[in-house]
Structure 1
Amino acid sequence: MKVVKFGGSSLATGEQVQKVFNIIQADENRKVVVVSAPGKRFSGDIKVTDLLKTYADQTIAGEDITDILLTILNRYQDIAQYFGLEENKIIPQIKRQLIQLNRVHYPSFDHLYAAFMGHGELLNAQLIACILQAIGQPAVFVSPMDLGMVVSGSPRAARLDPTSYERMHNFQYDPNKLLIVPGFITYTNDGYAATFSRGGSDITGAILARGLHADLYENFTDVSAIYSVNPGIVTNPKSIERMTYREMRELSYAGFAVFHDEAIIPVIEANIPINVKNTNDPEAPGTMIVPNQAITPTSPVTGIANDDRFAALYLHRYLLNREVGFTLKILQILASYNVSYEHMPSGIDDMTIIFDKSQLSPTIKAHISHDLYQTIAPDELEWLDDYAIIMVVGEGMQKNIGTLTKITAALAEANINLPMVNQGASQISTMLGVPVDKMKQAVQVIYDAVF
């Protein structure tokens, strides 16, 4: 049995939805379909999820919602009309649910945003199930609540309760019918809507693949394979035929856009392979993501990822390595401001702490600096906001000597300085810190050196 997830670009128009139906019908093993909200139809278009955020903003502000409501409804109506369902009851049903969102009392603004933005998927799953039924394909809409998926944590960054897997395992359904499940949205024990974090539909798909014991998790998007580097930086990059879970995790963390780095954890835990494929070219083999032991590397490097979402804090103090509890004091200060760190490479007198910039405001940085001066008295402290990370990843790096030397030599020849080099403990990744304005050039130089 296969769980199949389709992204927003695959469901943006009636024409795209027809391609999705063709894919589903081409393989009888595709039993569970996870859908995203309709995405962009063209460059400059607005995703339905973003329209729903505007709807939420206007609701909070007490503004007139007539226009935004009509804009959202028209996106679903256009798809329904493509299949001749303009008179079908599904559009009035979608309209009622959209209006009802504006009339509910929510415990907090976070709960409100989760309910509004999660409805993009919820309504689309109902629409897709209705269209399939209308064209003679047995299908049924299934809510995450029906499946027994329960979450805790923040309403907009929910985490699955592990007991959900047992309930999914016991879920009874007709194997002759397609299950159409909304991605992204889920529910708390109290019945409030919640959403997973970014890449939420991918998370839903992975959870269902594990919970329903799929043999394969297919993730359809708008690319025919995962590329070894960002094609916006390198022209016609090498595609990746097979890669391991941990290679994907390392690359996703540092900017690969195909998956959020947390999204595939459920399938990793269940050893379920993932096949990334293209809705517009479904016959292409795509990229297989498999357990670590299922690959014998043929080259040192599998992929190169880059991201400029980081900031760094540089600390210098002589003999910091000899002070017991030095790092503990720093971590306690960060914890007091609810700030986590990404990496902390250090030497005998120096330490660099790398953060996701989204956690740091000027006020928080000022407070952290003050507390550090008071607590550990650094000889030097400097915030580095102009900071990008490049991750070079490959299972073959463990047994190939000289890969890092080749990279650093190429960067030196291109006159690109490396403020930070950090070898991953797994020995399959090397993290390089570079100035943001040198990031794209550095990626191109590294790609030319290793491929």
Structure 2
Amino acid sequence: MESPLHTVEKIGGTSMSRTEELLDTVLIGGRKGADLYQRIFVVSAYAGMTDDLLEHKKSGKPGVYALFSSAEGGWVWGDALTAVADKMYAHNERIFADESARQTANRFARERVEGVRSCLIDLSRLCSFGHFQLEQHLLTVREMLASLGEAHSAFNTALLLNLHGVRARMIDLTGWRDEARYTLDEAIERGLADVDLATELPIVTGYAQCSESLMGTYDRGYSEVTLSRLTVLTRAREAIIHKEFHLSSADPRLVAPEAVRVIGETNYDVADQLSNMGMEAIHPRAAKSLRQAGIPLRVKNAFEPEHPGTVIRSDLPAQSAQVEIVTGLKNVYAFEFYDQDMVGVKGYDSEILEALKRHKVWIIAKTSNANTITHYLKGSMKAIKRVENDLSKAFPAADITLRKIALVSAIGRDLGSTRVLTQAIRALSDAGIEPLGVHDLLRKVDLQVVVEPDQFEATIAALHKGLIEDWTAAPQARLHAAA
């Protein structure tokens, strides 16, 4: 199973939906014979499938899981599950011209969907008795529903490759009808135990059923954890993530496309900062295994196979101070907690953090002074209001304010030069942008700028121009201006 030659490669959901193009680029392309192998693929569900199975990642629109877990949902979840099945059949219709193959794919999808439906019906009936509480089983339900999407795409991909003469095999880590429960490492080792990477192409489900309960820890970042552990356990030479875009210096929809550049190389520290901004190269805890093993991660555009993409290493310091990427989040809540009695008193921080954790609100950044603690949060207004209510009860004398802001971050391996901050302020001033706040920490890997939401796009464009375009275009002029 082990080989110093192979790679472990993950394909994201949006890319997976462009099946025909994937065959011509990542999966087959111009490869023949032995060149088709020495690769392991981890596949995500097709775009939108996990949203329909759980809930929409951005809008929060309820999927099967959200409807099932809601006491008011009744049996509406059953109709939603049927809609998911129909969506699977429609996708099979698009990618399989061969009638026999299409029917094979439909039978697989039907077996999985109806198996889950039967299980949920039985669980609903069981929990109608007072001795059994639905809440105790919801994480398992969430994992089981999520696994449907990955199983569907993995089965289809292996079948499609077989039709094109490639010896591909689905490696099902979803635990479907398994009688035992294994750790993630054990599940991976069992799944690949008899695979010959020199002559077979394993297509592995992004979701893996294991004793660690991946969704409980990583929620929807589980496929990257599967990628990471597969890479480390099989001692691959490189992990690769195929996306529908390059890891670039800014979003080309916000900055002139001709000004945006592929990063090319960076380190895991930068990747962590990107994750904090919601622009995941890889989940931070998934990156940890790769970093510790000294295995590089490459992020590539799935539809530009000849481009080397961006390589991320643990041992890649910057040669000079420079911003590599400007990104951010538009809809962020500044949650400001003020209490005159806070000075010199301990316990405020821990109480606030416990409330945020209890209501599953994502903390992006935090600032504080003698009597004020401000958290910059990403989450639903409903959840944040619950946090506010809890803290108002715990600290009735406190003044809590909430406002919507945008947070833009300039990120790089080394922002140690004071010129970075100076140039950022100048770029914002030239664009007529007055920031609400600037966070420049001692550990110089990111510079965060707080602005009004309606200035989000302009701020990204201004910082990209001042810290990347002008920084690299005219270094001598820049140095002269800074002096």
Under TM normalisation by the shorter chain, which class is it?
0.7 to 0.9
> With structure 1 as the length reference, what TM-score do the two structures score?
0.81
- More helix, by proportion: 2
1:123 maps to which residue?
A: 152
1:227 maps to which residue?
A: 248
**Secondary structure class of the residue paired with 2:219:** coil
CA drift at 1:258: 4.5
From 21, 34, 45, the equivalent of 1:37 is 45
From 418, 426, 437, the equivalent of 1:409 is 426
2:445 maps to which residue?
A: 428
Matches within 5 A, 1:66-81: 68-81=84-97
1:22 equivalent to 2:28? Answer: yes
2:50 maps to which residue?
A: 49
**Secondary structure class of the residue paired with 2:165:** coil
From 106, 122, 128, the equivalent of 1:91 is 106
CA drift at 1:195: 9.5
CA drift at 1:192: 11
Distance 1:320 1:73, change over 3 A: same
Matches within 5 A, 1:281-300: 281-291=304-314, 293-300=315-322
- More strand, by proportion: 1
**Secondary structure class of the residue paired with 1:144:** coil
Find the aligned partners of 2:7 and 2:434 in 1 and give their Cα distance.
Answer: 47
**Secondary structure class of the residue paired with 2:414:** helix
2:272 maps to which residue?
A: 249
> For this pair of structures, how many residues does the alignment match?
424
CA drift at 1:385: 2.6
Find the aligned partners of 2:214 and 2:455 in 1 and give their Cα distance.
Answer: 45
1:158 maps to which residue?
A: none
> With structure 2 as the length reference, what TM-score do the two structures score?
0.76
**Secondary structure class of the residue paired with 1:417:** coil
1:12 maps to which residue?
A: 17
Distance 1:70 1:338, change over 3 A: closer
Q: Which digits, 9 at most, give the CA deviation of each residue in 1:222-264, with x for residues without a partner?
A: 12x2111122211111221111111111022113255455543
Distance 1:409 1:322, change over 3 A: farther
**Secondary structure class of the residue paired with 2:208:** strand
Find the aligned partners of 1:260 and 1:36 in 2 and give their Cα distance.
Answer: 14
C-alpha RMSD of the superposition: 3.6
2:435 maps to which residue?
A: 418
In structure 2, list runs of 5 or more residues that go unmatched. 1-5, 55-62, 69-73, 124-133, 469-483
1:111·1:192 contact (CA, 8 Å) conserved in 2? no
CA drift at 1:129: 1.6
In structure 1, list runs of 5 or more residues that go unmatched. 40-46, 153-160
**Secondary structure class of the residue paired with 2:368:** coil
1:319·1:348 contact (CA, 8 Å) conserved in 2? no
1:38·1:48 contact (CA, 8 Å) conserved in 2? yes
1:253·1:260 contact (CA, 8 Å) conserved in 2? no
The one-letter code matched in structure 2 to 1:118 is S
CA drift at 1:28: 4.9
Distance 1:318 1:411, change over 3 A: farther
The one-letter code matched in structure 2 to 1:133 is N
1:204 equivalent to 2:232? Answer: no
The one-letter code matched in structure 2 to 1:407 is A
Distance 1:99 1:145, change over 3 A: closer
2:118 maps to which residue?
A: 103
**Secondary structure class of the residue paired with 1:360:** helix
1:198·1:260 contact (CA, 8 Å) conserved in 2? no
